[in-house]
Amino acid sequence: MQLTPEENAMLSGTEGVAARKCMQILVALGEIYGASRLVKVSSVQVSGVSYKNLGDAGIEFLEELARDGRARVKTTLNPAGMSLTGWREQGISESFAEKQLQVIDAYRRLGLEISCTCTPYLAGNEPGFGEHIAWSESSAVVYANSVLGARTNREGGPSALAAGLTGRTPLYGYHLADNRRPTLRVDVDAALKSPEDFSAMGYFVGRAAKDGIPYFRGIRSAGIEELKTLSAALASSGSVSMFHIEGLTPESGAGAGKSETISFTPTLLAETVAALNDAGTPDFVSVVCPHCSLSELATIARLLGGRRTTREFWVCCSKEVKRKSDEAGYSRAIEGSGAKFATDTCMVVAPIEELGYKVVATNSAKACHYLRNNGMRVRFLPLEQCVLEATR
Ligand code: F3S
């Protein structure tokens, strides 16, 4: 792989141990995937923040890099395993919190922004069309490639961090125009009436598309809420990193070409929703995944309508969106009900299985997928019904 003099300097160690280690990771990746060179990135988003996933080995890795490493480009963080300020109210143990705060402290010393959100594009890290970036949260990768037209592979936590500390990533995969063409045409025959319908469709299509690129036909409109939950679902049941929607997403203009075709019918929608529902009454309710937009917080405040919660109810969002919600008056209505803002975290990356909960109601197919992997039972319900369950 061709390296510039500056990149060679990093690789040789003259710019410090962390830069050398990061360059080694990127060069190894580039060689595996046949990249001809590295490309400069304008934005990085790092996953691998929850102590639940990182463990002590992860802390050691970060501490080592933090000795002399420093982010060279805007680098933001995925959610952590707890709210960084409200963890006691969430029931998180002192021992978990101590480790989680060590993780955050290491990232802070590395110069990362402690944003702790899976929707960086709603919290000040929104790259433009055609920009090369290195993101690792899978739902945000799909959103960035498909909706923003930015270019990123689905990075792992270490390779994204290496990109942040060097400002570069190997030029292969979704960074190249030829690899951004559809592989599967999806004729949408079902009427999609809510973000949850988009989530269910994404869950079904992700399985069919595997690591390919679906091209949806028959969708007339979709807002941020529909697009972010579709992105999340596609990346959870499959390894999708990008999709197109005819007439809506910025790179859909070339059409579906000769790709294989499937249909998403009303029957498949109903079957997918049914398959995401286990038996049992929810003892924990958590919305929204990916992290709430301001508009979703407005809806939750309205749906609560002054009622009190009777079950643990987490509303997951970034600190940035929560700040806007405070200004708009939605936070008062939400917190006044007894619901808790899960800023910096979510029901999947927090250790809720250790808190004794068994059945989680949520409005995201992605969350259902990972909660089941964590041994929980799930109910996949529309947002309105989730609020009803929380206040029943
Ligand atoms: Fe975000 Fe957690 Fe869902 S990290 S995408 S809210 S599983």
Q: What per-residue confidence (pLDDT) applies to 212?
A: 97
69 CB near ligand 1 (under 6 Å)? no
pLDDT category, 43, cuts 50, 70, 90? very high
Q: What per-residue confidence (pLDDT) applies to 369?
A: 98
Q: What per-residue confidence (pLDDT) applies to 87?
A: 97
User: For 255-276, what is the mean pLDDT?
Assistant: 95
315 CB near ligand 1 (under 6 Å)? no
Q: Are 192 and 198 in contact (CB under 8 A)?
A: yes
Alpha carbon of 331 to ligand 1 centroid (Å): 20
Which of 321, 366, 369 for mutating ligand 1's site (highest number of atoms within 8 Å of CB)? Answer: 366
Alpha carbon of 29 to ligand 1 centroid (Å): 26
Q: pLDDT per residue over 67-117, tens digit each?
A: 999 999 999 999 999 999 999 999 999 999 999 999 999 999 999 999 999
Inform me whether the pLDDT recorded for 256 exceeds 90. no
Atom 5 of ligand 1, residue of closest alpha carbon: 290
pLDDT category, 258, cuts 50, 70, 90? confident
Inform me whether the pLDDT recorded for 226 exceeds 90. yes
pLDDT category, 50, cuts 50, 70, 90? very high
Q: What per-residue confidence (pLDDT) applies to 257?
A: 86
How far is residue 43 from each of residues 58, 152, 383, measured CA to CA in Å? Answer: 23, 10, 32
Which ligand 1 atom is nearest residue 118's CA? Answer: 1
Inform me whether the pLDDT recorded for 254 exceeds 90. no
DSSP label at 147? I
Which residues make beta-bridge pairs with 342?
A: 316
Contacts of range 384-390, beta carbons closer than 8 Å, 24 or more positions apart: 384/303, 385/361, 386/285, 386/287, 386/361, 386/362, 387/285, 387/287, 387/300, 387/303, 387/304, 389/282, 389/285, 389/311, 389/361, 390/285, 390/309, 390/310, 390/311, 390/313, 390/339, 390/361
316 CB near ligand 1 (under 6 Å)? yes
120 CB near ligand 1 (under 6 Å)? no
Percent over 70 (pLDDT), the chain: 100
Which ligand 1 atom is nearest residue 348's CA? Answer: 7
Atom 2 of ligand 1, residue of closest alpha carbon: 346
Which ligand 1 atom is nearest residue 349's CA? Answer: 2
Alpha carbon of 57 to ligand 1 centroid (Å): 23
Q: What per-residue confidence (pLDDT) applies to 19?
A: 98
Which residues make beta-bridge pairs with 216?
A: 186, 245
- How far is residue 123's CA from residue 290's CA, in Å, rounded to a whole number? 13
290 CB near ligand 1 (under 6 Å)? yes
Alpha carbon of 347 to ligand 1 centroid (Å): 8
Q: pLDDT per residue over 157-179, tens digit each?
A: 999 999 999 999 999 999 999 99
Inform me whether the pLDDT recorded for 301 exceeds 90. yes
Q: pLDDT per residue over 174-204, tens digit each?
A: 999 999 999 999 999 999 999 999 999 999 9
Alpha carbon of 74 to ligand 1 centroid (Å): 21
Which of 45, 53, 119, 291 for mutating ligand 1's site (highest number of atoms within 8 Å of CB)? Answer: 291
Q: What per-residue confidence (pLDDT) applies to 276?
A: 98
Inform me whether the pLDDT recorded for 55 exceeds 90. yes
Inform me whether the pLDDT recorded for 143 exceeds 90. yes
The model's pTM: 0.98
- How far is residue 61's CA from residue 13's CA, in Å, rounded to a whole number? 18
- How far is residue 196's CA from residue 265's CA, in Å, rounded to a whole number? 15
pLDDT category, 244, cuts 50, 70, 90? very high
What's the token pair of residue 44? Answer: 């990085």
What's the token pair of residue 328? Answer: 């708009």
Which ligand 1 atom is nearest residue 138's CA? Answer: 5
Which ligand 1 atom is nearest residue 347's CA? Answer: 2
